[in-house]
Amino acid sequence: MSTDAKQALQIANRRRWRRTVVRHSILIGWGLIIMFPIFWMIQTSFKDAHEWVTWPPHWVPQDPTLKNYEQIFTFDVQQSGVAREATEQPFNIWGAVADSLIICTTSALIALFMGAFLAYGISRFNVGGGKFRHSVLIIRMIPPIVIAIPLLMYYAIMVPLASETVLGFRLSLFDTQFGMSLLYITITLPFVIWMMLSFIDEVPYTLEHAARIMGAGRLYTLRRVVLPLVASGMVVTFLFVFILNWAEFLLSLTLTHPDVSTLPVLLNKFQSASEGRLYGPQAAIGTVITIPVVVLGVLIQKHLIKGFSFGTIRK
Amino acid sequence: MAQIGLKEVVKKFGDFVAVNGVSLDVHDGEFLILVGPSGCGKTTTLNMISGLESPTSGEIIIGNRVVNDIEPGERGLGMVFQDLALFPHMTVFENIAFGLRVKKTLEPDIDRQVRAAAEAMHILPLLGKRPAQCSGGESQRVALARTIVNDPSVFLMDEPLSSLDAKLRVDMRTELKALHERLNATFVYVTHDQAEAMTMADRIVVMNGGLVEQIGGPLDIYDKPASRFVAGFFGTPTMNFLQGEIVAANGALTFQCEHIEHFLAENTPDSLAGKQVILGVRSEHVVVNSGGQQGQVKLIEPLGDVSLVFFESGGQEQLVAKVAPELRFSSGDQLTFGFQAAKCHLFDFDSGTRLN
Ligand SMILES: Nc1ncnc2c1ncn2[C@@H]1O[C@H](COP(=O)(O)OP(=O)(O)O)[C@@H](O)[C@H]1O
Ligand SMILES: [Mg+2]
């Protein structure tokens, strides 16, 4: 090899290496920016009150404590004496964990079930006409705050009144798991339809035709052919909707109190007259409610990759 | 009990007429091939037989009953699709067993029948694999086994070989024909490949633009095409077409165009005199080095057993002749040529229908 060629190769190599370094630096920098709040939340959750707000900041807890976790996990806060004297904070998270789990799981499952069938109808039979699939997401154009107050009217006044007149007893949707689930189903259904449409559209018609000619009915074909092929997509959709509900704050804040409380609303309740926001317990709750999302994500990673890379079905 | 009848069947998609009044009879045990260019309505016709599409008007009869309103699964048909439509999430075994499971066959019977079908198609070792792990030819056999196992009296096939490479496709032709012989079932087969149609069919239905152009045995169609379209569709290289006029002179009819004059066969009807026509003649019926016409060689394609000579007459008419390979030409050579009078086809200039 001539020295010229060698030099050219070296320059090319160096250039490629430099490009790699730049690219990775940018990614790492970006990663740090993204991860920092999570890091801060986690480390705050191990700090006692005097370390929550300090200057200069304590990058790591100087005397780490599990007090925050003890508080949010303790069943009977007052008796076991972990509540801070000054705050008399009476809350633990167990009630909200149950509420959140029940509301988010049932609503995501029901929305997924309904949405999958609706999407099938739209994909295969053009239900609602040709443009319907594009108008499904219109609900996203309405900010939640706009519907929060009207919904409160329905949940707290109209429905109880109507049920009392018609059925003879008061049925209130306000501050109930049922009411919250109903609401979450309604607002996430468009997402489910939209996502499931993209998966079901991927399943070739001829697979269903083949099944039909072999004598299979619609439901049998759906169960044995279509649904198994979009299973990954259903898992992804479920997860997406579950997280959406798991983190929903505004509507839950408006439509519950005092019996039912989802985790984000509960987190917000951790403040006291004397100390203001209780950053420690709030960070602990934040950490705790992030864990199931991460765990779910890891567990279904295989499906996530398959589901998010849409063109999954080999023809 | 497996004859099929189509009576004036029409299929419209909105305003678009995909099938425009097709009538045909498929005899019991016949290998019938629907052939035509892409978009001529073959698949639509097949889908109406299978029940996947319902006709806009007309009747579909299978056996002795009108099946217009009968579900595809109850028509006693098996179908092999163009994209094969194997279920990607099931093993080959489950794919083949699908129809049996629908019919709630007992588990030991399923196992026995699936194995028998797989054995017949030589795919026993594949039973545990997924379709994605099978080669094109193997997938083809799986699709056939999945159909055979349900023991239908009619097999519908929509371009089942189109995804295979050329060599395999030719092999599969022979195999399909053997399969037809063995099963004794009625086959309705769709293809756009005229060679496939010629080699396999008992009878061929040539379609064009939603209409049937001709129905007949392969050689009938080859020797006596009913229209210019059919003549051009069958045979390689494509038939030579010349546009000209029929002239009566001295009691004989001749075909005349600018540079070519050709005496027509004696049995040509006299009534054709003075008509504008298209004369068609296949390359193997063009005789070279005899006859009264002059031409200049443009291109030679030696195929081994024969050679194709592409030549021009009068610097205008493009023609091709199939000649013995011993005849060596090179481009630029002059040659003389003529047509075998009995093998010339005359088509109406406007409608393209056969005249002689
Ligand atoms: N579902 C449909 N909607 C509208 N047009 C269709 C539909 N199916 C087929 N066509 C049209 O009908 C014509 C015939 O189609 P097809 O039967 O698939 O042709 P072939 O199988 O001969 O290639 C084509 O022009 C095609 O575009
Ligand atoms: Mg087709």
pLDDT at A70 exceeding the cut of 80: yes
Residue type, B107: E
Report the DSSP pairing between strands B186-191 and B31-35. Answer: parallel
What local confidence, expressed as pLDDT, does residue A312 receive? 44
What local confidence, expressed as pLDDT, does residue A308 receive? 63
* Tokens found for residue B208: 């064009």
What local confidence, expressed as pLDDT, does residue B18 receive? 96
> pLDDT-based confidence at A34, cuts 50/70/90?
very high
What local confidence, expressed as pLDDT, does residue A210 receive? 95
Among protein residues, the one whose CA lies closest to atom 6 of ligand 1: B13
Does one domain contain both A256 and A159? Answer: yes
Among protein residues, the one whose CA lies closest to atom 7 of ligand 1: B13
Give CA–CA dist A72/A270, Å, rounded: 10
Q: Is residue A190 within 8 Å of residue A241, measured between CB atoms? A: no
Does one domain contain both A113 and A83? Answer: no
Which of B52, B146, B150 lies nearest to residue A209, judging by beta carbons?
B52
What local confidence, expressed as pLDDT, does residue A79 receive? 57
Residue type, A291: I
Report the candidate in A99, A137, A147 with the shortest Cα–Cα distance to residue A246: A99
A225/B87 touch (CB, cutoff 8 Å), yes or no: yes
Which of B50, B82, B83 lies nearest to residue A213, judging by beta carbons?
B50
All residues at 6 or more sequence positions from B267 whose CB lies less than 8 Å from its CB, including other chains: B356
Locate all alpha helices (DSSP H) within chain B, ordered by sequence: 42-50, 92-102, 107-120, 136-148, 166-183, 194-200, 218-223, 228-233
> pLDDT-based confidence at A160, cuts 50/70/90?
very high
What local confidence, expressed as pLDDT, does residue A309 receive? 60
CA–centroid distance, residue A190 to ligand 2 (Å)? 36
Report the candidate in B283, B196, B207 with the shortest Cα–Cα distance to residue B239: B283
* Tokens found for residue A92: 């633990």
- CATH superfamily for B239-348 is Nucleic acid-binding proteins (2.40.50.140)
Q: Is residue A314 part of a domain?
A: no
Which CATH code is given to the segment(s) B4-232? 3.40.50.300
List the 215-254 stretch of A: residues with Cβ below 8 A of B. Answer: 215-217, 220, 224-225, 228-229
State which of A34, A57, A87 marks the end of a domain.
A87
The average pLDDT across A132-157 equals: 86
> pLDDT-based confidence at A311, cuts 50/70/90?
very low
* Domain residue spans of chain B: 4-232, 239-348
Q: Which of A1-10, A287-296, B25-34, B344-353 has the lowest mean pLDDT?
A: A1-10
For Cα atoms B336, B340, B346, give the angle at the middle one, nearest 5 degrees.
Answer: 115
Does one domain contain both A7 and A131? Answer: no
Give CA–CA dist B222/B342, Å, rounded: 14
Does one domain contain both A153 and A302? Answer: yes
Does one domain contain both A290 and A199? Answer: yes
DSSP per residue, B257-271:
-SS-EEEPPTTS-GG
Does one domain contain both A197 and A298? Answer: yes
pLDDT at A273 exceeding the cut of 80: no
pLDDT at A221 exceeding the cut of 70: yes
- The stretches in chain B having pLDDT less than 50 are none
A214/B102 touch (CB, cutoff 8 Å), yes or no: yes
Does one domain contain both A71 and A192? Answer: no
Q: Domain count of chain A?
A: 2
Length of chain B: 356
Phi-psi region for residue B339, left (φ > 0), alpha (ψ -120 to 50) or beta?
Answer: beta
Locate all alpha helices (DSSP H) within A126-158, ordered by sequence: 132-135, 144-153
Q: What percent of chain A has pLDDT over 70?
A: 90
State which of A87, A108, A138 marks the end of a domain.
A87
Phi-psi region for residue B211, left (φ > 0), alpha (ψ -120 to 50) or beta?
Answer: beta
What local confidence, expressed as pLDDT, does residue A85 receive? 47
Cα dihedral angle (B144, B145, B146, B148), rounded to 10 degrees?
Answer: 90
* Tokens found for residue B260: 């070519």
**What integer best gives the mean pLDDT of chain A?**
87
B89/A220 touch (CB, cutoff 8 Å), yes or no: no
Among protein residues, the one whose CA lies closest to atom 24 of ligand 1: B39
The average pLDDT across A3-32 equals: 91
- Find where tokens 């599969």 sit: B172
B96: closest chain A residue by CA: A214
* Residues from chain A contacting residue B83 (CB–CB below 8 Å): 204, 206, 315
pTM exceeding the 0.90 threshold for the entire prediction: no
A210/B50 touch (CB, cutoff 8 Å), yes or no: no
CA–centroid distance, residue B352 to ligand 1 (Å)? 24
Contact B136/A at CB under 8 A? no
* Residues from chain A contacting residue B102 (CB–CB below 8 Å): 211, 214-216, 220
Contact B77/A at CB under 8 A? yes
State which of A87, A121, A139 marks the end of a domain.
A87
Does one domain contain both A232 and A275? Answer: yes
Does one domain contain both A157 and A193? Answer: yes
Give the CATH number for residue A109: 1.10.3720.10
Give CA–CA dist A265/A247, Å, rounded: 9
Q: State the residue range of the domain holding A166.
A: 93-308
pLDDT at A55 exceeding the cut of 90: no
Buried b (16+ CB within 10 A) or exposed e, A215-232: bbeeebbbebbbbbbbeb
Tell me which of A208, A213, A222 to substitute to probe the interface with B (most B C-beta atoms closer than 10 Å): A213
Give CA–CA dist A93/A264, Å, rounded: 10
Contact B130/A at CB under 8 A? no
The average pLDDT across A198-211 equals: 93
| A191-194 CB contacts, 8 Å cutoff, 24+ apart | A191/A115, A191/A137, A191/A237, A191/A240, A191/A241, A191/A244, A192/A111, A192/A112, A192/A114, A192/A115, A192/A116, A192/A119, A192/A237, A192/A241, A193/A115, A193/A118, A193/A119, A193/A122, A193/A136, A194/A119, A194/A133, A194/A136, A194/A137
What local confidence, expressed as pLDDT, does residue A313 receive? 45
Does one domain contain both A106 and A224? Answer: yes
Does one domain contain both A106 and A77? Answer: no
What local confidence, expressed as pLDDT, does residue B226 receive? 96
The average pLDDT across A188-203 equals: 92
For Cα atoms B19, B224, B307, give the angle at the middle one, nearest 5 degrees.
Answer: 110
Does one domain contain both A231 and A300? Answer: yes
Beta-bridged to residue B339, according to DSSP, are: B286
Q: Is residue A313 part of a domain?
A: no
Ligand 1 in reach of B283 Cβ (< 6 A): no
pLDDT at A75 exceeding the cut of 90: no
> pLDDT-based confidence at A315, cuts 50/70/90?
very low
A214/B74 touch (CB, cutoff 8 Å), yes or no: no
